[in-house]
A and B are shown apart, each in its own frame.
Chain A
Amino acid sequence: MALKMVKGSIDRMFDKNLQDLVRGIRNHKEDEAKYISQCIDEIKQELKQDNIAVKANAVCKLTYLQMLGYDISWAAFNIIEVMSASKFTFKRIGYLAASQSFHEGTDVIMLTTNQIRKDLSSPSQYDTGVALTGLSCFVTPDLARDLANDIMTLMSHTKPYIRKKAVLIMYKVFLKYPESLRPAFPRLKEKLEDPDPGVQSAAVNVICELARRNPKNYLSLAPLFFKLMTSSTNNWVLIKIIKLFGALTPLEPRLGKKLIEPLTNLIHSTSAMSLLYECVNTVIAVLISLSSGMPNHSASIQLCVQKLRILIEDSDQNLKYLGLLAMSKILKTHPKSVQSHKDLILQCLDDKDESIRLRALDLLYGMVSKKNLMEIVKKLMTHVDKAEGTTYRDELLTKIIDICSQSNYQYITNFEWYISILVELTRLEGTRHGHLIAAQMLDVAIRVKAIRKFAVSQMSALLDSAHLLASSTQRNGICEVLYAAAWICGEFSEHLQEPHHTLEAMLRPKVTTLPGHIQAVYVQNVVKLYANILQQKEQAGEAEGAQAVTQLMVDRLPQFVQSADLEVQERASCILQLVKHIQKLQAKDVPVAEEVSTLFAGELNPVAPKAQKKVPVPEGLDLDAWINEPLSDSESEDERPRAVFHEEEQRRPKHRPSEADEEELARRREARKQEQANNPFYIKSSPSPQKRYQDAPGVEHIPVVQIDLSVPLKVPGLPMSDQYVKLEEERRHRQKLEKDKRRKKRKEKEKKGKRRHSSLPTESDEDIAPAQQVDIVTEEMPENALPSDEDDKDPNDPYRALDIDLDKPLADSEKLPIQKHRNAETSKSPEKDVPVVEKKSKKPKKKEKKHKEKERDKEKKKQKEKKAEDLD
């Protein structure tokens, strides 16, 4: 026996301890994985030993390995064993390992409950301390519920060390077990006035965090905190309190008013940047929530802005960043105060640090006005040139477009300038926002009639340029612009100076390298151009010219017919046939231009996105009446799985007989529904067609929601195309009259902008701001639609669960579950009765039982261990 002991201890002497492990790993850099798996085997051996010190050593090494990324969840039970060691050293290691690796999914975490409870009531404060620290990392709802009472009592412990920890851990407990908040709260409040500053600041911390999430419950504490704020000199505490006030002020405007003074004092007096920053932030929050009628607020805002300016001017990058961040908050509500610092912000755009530049960009967004837009964009363009090949450039591009297209182009006074900016942007290579630019061009060209001529001339220049075609392989690349260019040239071809030239440019062989959707647009617009040219030639009587053009088309279209893209092929082949037909007609000298032009008669106007829904049902139209005879074999056809043609399958069941024989209808409907339910490929239609079923006479057995069908259809202000055009014209006229006066003043300022010389004579038309989109303001929704606010809240959000009213007195049912002391030696049955009486709901009862069983097991094990040790 003795020999075995000696041998055992000698073996143990050769165990690696942590230092050896680390050194070993560092030495084995090449075969680290192998070495580590070796070590893990050794550790497993060590864990099988009875010696607690050896186990602790092993667990310590495991913790290190866990940090390196290795999974140690298999050792969870061993960790708990080490946690239960009586010596502080080992206990500490056990808890550390637990806090690193335990999480809610660890099954054995239940076993820790009793151990932790023992440690919490241990005479040594360090045992308690280490238990509390460890627990805070892996507390689960069960643990929280079971231990809440113990921790609460610890809040009134004699040692401030313990009190402090207990207070802080209560926050975690609250998050996991919200029912503990109400019983614990009075004690927490007491701690705010604890003599020990550490405990006090801990209490402040916890209440601040709680109050931030659910401020209305903590308003009653405001006076107490106010007192603390004015009396405390500890910056850390002050910052927390000020943050808390920031959260409370939106609810209590009087509080805000009272706060402004002490906060401004603090701002003036403090030298700590962090405190200053927090104060400024809170002042902003306060002022945002207060009504803007108060006169002295502008002084406070000015003060804030001043201080922020100092921050931004500081050479420390961090301060700059924060200054800009805070400025953007002020910008939302007081844009005027910020605008005077525009120069500073533009300077920040030149900063080397990308994050600062991005912040400055954000600020710019709110600072543009009609006057400075051009200046700012000019500056941004120079940046765009400098920032080659970075994501920053893409950012810039999107920002430029955002800024310019803000609120329906509110700030653009000169659209020619804008189009030229867009064209310049196309010179950027390697950007992924080609479609943005394209969209903008289209938008402007369509909406602003007056600019069309200029736009068209620019676009035809673009179509000529070779470099755009070169980048055609990139998705969403700059070549997207050609999409817009082609469409604009085609649609507004009457403005083209040299349509023939443009036509040739669009039919070049290189065009076939462009992406399919762009080619499709090309093909379509080539025809529009062609129509236009034909018109011109015939009017001028140049029959030969007309035939030459047709021949050109016949020559070049076949290259599109061979395209791999389906759309292009289709369009090209249709058009080719058409052109060939025209050729034949032309050979017979028949004037065809008129007819060809009628292909493209009528103007396309932008339509509001909700227009389709808002179309009113004309009088006398009954949407529920059957239109056609139903197809008798519709059911069998539906069964064929044709995944591609879902729409058609869906439509067939809707075919209805013109005669509404009620029984037959009902029967057919049932059969159809049955069949639809069985068909796996049938896409269930949206509720609306079912609503129509509902309204058909006498069908009550169909369990569909009773919704009035006619809801989305009654509407003011319809965006039907014709009326839009009329409104546009009216508005333009009005604006023109207004702007005539202003234009004269602004002519000088506009010379700064980037405009081509050729565009000068056309200025008169363009100062008309584009018309507002005739969009319907009210959003029609079906009657039973709930407002969508409640969807945003996550039902599992722990903070929401903490939204508890604290002022009501504590009911009996809300007391924390207390573990009664039980004797392990007495028989088990009376214990079962005792918890039954106490518990309120079934679940904790079951868990209690399970938990008690586990405790018993553990106790037995421990007793066995102790016995084993005694024997040795």
Chain B
Amino acid sequence: MQFMLLFSRQGKLRLQKWYVPLSDKEKKKITRELVQTVLARKPKMCSFLEWRDLKIVYKRYASLYFCCAIEDQDNELITLEIIHRYVELLDKYFGSVCELDIIFNFEKAYFILDEFLLGGEVQETSKKNVLKAIEQADLLQEPWMHSVLRE
């Protein structure tokens, strides 16, 4: 996978994860174009489209669009599965996740994504294992206030 973007129906970016090195300007440009293209699609249309030399797989969950860019040879259906799996993980973690959860806890969303995918490839196919790793990492985190006051 080359990158993954999450954006709302109004085109606001909620999460971006890039697995290829690109400059900031390019990233912005790509994001802008892609958001426009995907938002212009009608609901009944299929989830795949071709853009530049990449394939884009997107899916809409409530008010969020999950959009992944894969290479030509990659399997689109498996990418849809990846998107779905990620949503399931978020759901399990936050408990019935909604867009606000992702907005306010965006760093946690990133952490979950980082446990699931690494370098664009699936790291762990078992949902249980991913969630377990995240929970354990969370235990290591201390609440903010304590650390602030202690220093």
- Residue numbers of A with Cβ under 8 A of B are 9, 12-13, 17-19, 22, 51-54, 57, 60, 63-64, 67-69, 71, 73, 87-90, 92-93, 96, 99-101, 103-105, 124, 126, 129-130, 132-133, 136-138, 161, 164-165, 168-169, 171-172, 197-198, 201-202, 205-206, 209, 212, 234, 236-237, 239, 243, 247, 273-274, 277-278, 281, 317-318, 320-322, 352-356
Contacts and interface: CB of A to CB of B under 8 A. Distances in A.
Interface string B3-46: 00000000001111011011110001000000000000010111
B103 interface: yes
B62 interface: no
A321 B48 contact: yes
A130 B113 CA distance: 12
B96 interface: no
B133 A356 contact: no
Interface in B58-81: 73, 75-78, 80-81
B77 A274 contact: yes
Contacts of A247: 73
Contact of A355 (B21, B48, B144): B48
B53 interface: no
A126 B136 contact: yes
15 contacts: A19-B104, A52-B151, A67-B13, A67-B15, A71-B24, A89-B140, A103-B23, A130-B114, A130-B137, A197-B125, A205-B121, A236-B78, A236-B125, A317-B44, A353-B44
Contact of A317 (B46, B75, B110, B126): B46
A817 B86 CA distance: 38
A369 to B, nearest CB: 28
Closest 5 pairs (CB-CB, A-B)? A274-B77, A317-B46, A88-B140, A321-B46, A168-B118
Given A126-B137, A201-B125, A53 B78 contact: no
B94 interface: no
Contacts of A172: 119
Contacts of A96: 107, 110-111
Given A168-B123, A172-B119, A239-B78, 5 more contacts: A87-B142, A136-B119, A169-B118, A317-B44, A320-B46
Given A67-B106, A104-B21, A13 B75 contact: no
A209 B74 CA distance: 10
B46 A318 contact: yes
Contacts of A136: 19, 118-119
Given A88-B141, A96-B111, A164-B123, A53 B76 contact: no
Interface of B: 13-16, 18-19, 21-24, 28, 42, 44-49, 73, 75-78, 80-81, 103-104, 106-107, 110-111, 114-115, 118-119, 121-126, 129, 133, 136-137, 140-142, 144, 147-149, 151
Nearest to B146: A53
Contact of A22 (B42, B103, B124): B103
Nearest to A26: B103
Given A57-B144, A209-B121, A321-B48, A9 B149 contact: yes
Contact of B125 (A18, A234, A281, A353): A234
A444 B67 CA distance: 47
Nearest to A136: B119
B71 to A, nearest CB: 9
Contact of A53 (B47, B123, B144): B144
Contacts of A51: 148, 151
Nearest to B46: A317
B144 A17 contact: yes
B111 to A, nearest CB: 7
A318 B15 CA distance: 25
Nearest to B136: A126
Contact of B77 (A64, A89, A322): A322
Given A52-B151, A138-B21, A171-B119, A318 B77 contact: yes
Nearest to A19: B104
B77 A243 contact: no
| Chain A contact residues, majority secondary structure | helix
B17 to A, nearest CB: 8
Contacts of B21: 103-104, 138
A169 B111 contact: no
A322 B18 CA distance: 26
Nearest to B6: A67
B77 to A, nearest CB: 3
A28 B2 CA distance: 34
A103 B142 CA distance: 30
Contacts of A353: 42, 44-46
Given A87-B147, A103-B23, A318-B47, A132 B126 contact: no
Contact of A168 (B73, B121, B142): B121
Contact of B122 (A13, A129, A137, A205): A205
A322 B48 contact: yes
B78 to A, nearest CB: 5
A52 B148 CA distance: 9
A9 B47 CA distance: 52
Contact of B45 (A87, A126, A198, A317): A317
Contact of A161 (B22, B23, B104, B133): B133
A352 B28 CA distance: 32
B138 to A, nearest CB: 10
A54 B148 contact: yes
Contact of B23 (A9, A105, A209): A105
Contacts of B133: 129, 161
Contacts of A277: 75-77
A197 B125 CA distance: 9
Nearest to B14: A67
Contacts of B147: 53, 87, 89-90
Contact of A318 (B48, B73, B78): B48
Nearest to A140: B21
Contacts of A164: 123-124
Contacts of A13: 148
A132 B15 CA distance: 20
Nearest to B124: A198
Contacts of A205: 121-122
A278 B75 CA distance: 7
Nearest to A105: B23
Nearest to B122: A236
A202 B115 CA distance: 13
Contacts of A9: 148-149, 151
B42 to A, nearest CB: 8
Contacts of A321: 46, 48
B151 A53 contact: yes
Contacts of B48: 318, 321-322, 355
A168 B147 CA distance: 34
Contacts of A201: 122, 125
Contact of A12 (B104, B110, B126, B148): B148
B104 A22 contact: yes
B40 to A, nearest CB: 11
